[in-house]
Structure 1
Amino acid sequence: MAKYLVLIYGDEKEWANTGPEERARTEAGHRRFAAAAGAAVVGGHELMPPATATTLRQGTAERPTVTDGPFLETKEVLGGFYVLEAADLDAAIALAGLLPEVAVSHSGVEIRPIREMS
């Protein structure tokens, strides 16, 4: 079985303005996804907002340079992720297609194969 990283992106301002009912619907959608995916979900979490991010970049030989915030300013930000174990990319696509963010205009889902360390 291959592993896939499923990255959930969305418009940060849209997410921040999401009301309690919409947030509850999204959370229910994630519970349905997790139930449908079962053991295929190896892990996953919602991320804190981009303003809480810390970025490391090349610094001196002894230490990297540490900055606040994300590396790039973009409209869509990474909001969460899952690690799935699936037979192939088609199976990973079928599972990720159940995520509620796939059906929201300000969100998107990216799937990437994970290269296993040897």
Structure 2
Amino acid sequence: MRYVMMICGPESNWTGPGTDELMATVGTWWEKWHAAGVIVKGGAELQPVSTAKTVRRGRDGKAVVTDGPYIELKDVVGGFMLLEADTIEDAVAVAATWPGIEAVGDQVEVRPTTGR
């Protein structure tokens, strides 16, 4: 089954001092799990929220586009990857090894996909 692993935390976790060392550790982590066949179709580190656009329904029912996130958030999704695992427990076991949890206090959310 496939699961999405989302890396969440303050944006400063990935842009502050020491991030080069963290990213090197993340690269090693990624190589390990990709070689094991757990990470499928890669993933992506997301650009800062300042580059985002939010689309929502306006009062007239039509789409309204705003710059950045619609609401101020302390924690944001900084990246994601698609995992292949037999059970959610297996996917969570992989997510629990994410280097950013220990290094900068990232949170990792694991969610099953619908398979579509």
TM-score, normalisation: structure 2: 0.81
Change (3 A) 1:71 1:32: farther
- Offset, 1:41: 1.4
Given that 2:5 and 2:111 are in contact with CA atoms closer than 8 Å, whether structure 1 keeps it comes out as yes
Summarize the alignment of residues 1-118 of structure 1 with structure 2, pairs less than 5 Å apart. 2-19=1-18, 20-35=20-35, 38-43=36-41, 44-59=43-58, 60-61=60-61, 63-117=62-116
Matched residues in 2 for 1:22 and 1:5: separation?
21
Matched residues in 2 for 1:30 and 1:100: separation?
10
Quote the sequence identity (%).
36
The residue identity in structure 2 corresponding to 1:32 is: K
Matched residues in 1 for 2:22 and 2:97: separation?
17
Matched residues in 2 for 1:109 and 1:94: separation?
11
TM-score, normalisation: structure 1: 0.80
Matched residues in 2 for 1:113 and 1:23: separation?
26
For the aligned residues, what is the CA RMSD? 2.0
Alignment size in residue pairs: 113
Name stretches of at least 5 consecutive residues in structure 1 with no aligned partner: none
